Amino acid sequence: MPDSSLQSALRQRFAGFDPAPSTRFALGVERIDKALGGGLAHGRLHELWPAAAADQPSAAGFALMLALRAGGRGGNIVWLTEDRGARRDGRLYPPGLAELGADPARLLFVTAPDETSLLRAAADVVRSPAAGTAVIAPAGPAHSFDLTASRRLTLFAERSGVSAILLRACDPAAPSAATTRWCVAAAPSAALEANAPGHPAFALDLVRQRGGAPASGWRLEWRRDDAAFAPLSGDIPADAGGGSVAAGS
């Protein structure tokens, strides 16, 4: 299949990029990484959505942080969205990305006019090893991103080694071929010294993982200096029985 103009642009923008040789990337919390079989798989599709409409910014932040874990500090990230989503929610703010530990120079933003075009662009990006990590963010229910589409994206990711993250706007009703599926909510953060705002914090449910058990009740925070997740400060560890694992355990 000949290269698309988008794939050519990726090669030019990220020339010399060497994809990570490892098969998995860890989140940074030992108990959770163990439950995930050593971390999340590179070269696969991972899917997440907000627990409620108010959690959409947290879900987007978690997607970015997963992408940072997937590629490391020098990894490339391609963020794909729709025009209407960018108009409604605004675009990612480069200084804010830097505050989270991302290098804006390593990010490429792709905006598609509609959902069908977004799916086509996502397929092109995920087929290109130069992409590193792709975050695909449809603006609405994303009916085009059905089981067939997710299987195609998974196949492309397996061939290229690109880690693909599908950031849905709401809880999907349709099945998916994604290797893992996550529900993300905001969690209260613990204040830092001098009552400074705490680290970004998340409450996570692993709804599904292929070849493993689901889990709920994980609470993490993002440590910018380490570019890694950590158990939420002040959390009380809970027993892992019954499919629930506490981040602090």
CB neighbourhood size of 185 (10 A) = 18
pTM: 0.84
Tell me if residue 13 falls in helix, strand or coil.
Answer: helix
Q: Which residues contact 63 (CB under 8 A, 6 or more apart)?
A: 48, 135, 137, 165, 167
pLDDT tens digits, 57-82: 999 999 999 999 998 777 889 999 99
Question: How far apart are alpha carbons 14 and 32 in whole angstroms?
Answer: 32
Which of 99-108, 125-134, 229-238 is predicted least confidently? 229-238
What pLDDT digit, counting tens, does each position of 10-45 carry?
655 555 555 555 689 999 999 899 999 999 999 999
- Specify the pairing of strand 163-167 against strand 133-137: parallel
Helices (H), the chain: 5-13, 30-35, 56-71, 83-89, 94-99, 115-126, 147-160
Q: Is 139 helix (H, G, I), strand (E, B) or coil?
A: coil
Delineate the domains of the chain, giving CATH numbers in brackets: 23-183 (3.40.50.300)
d(CA 170, CA 187): 18
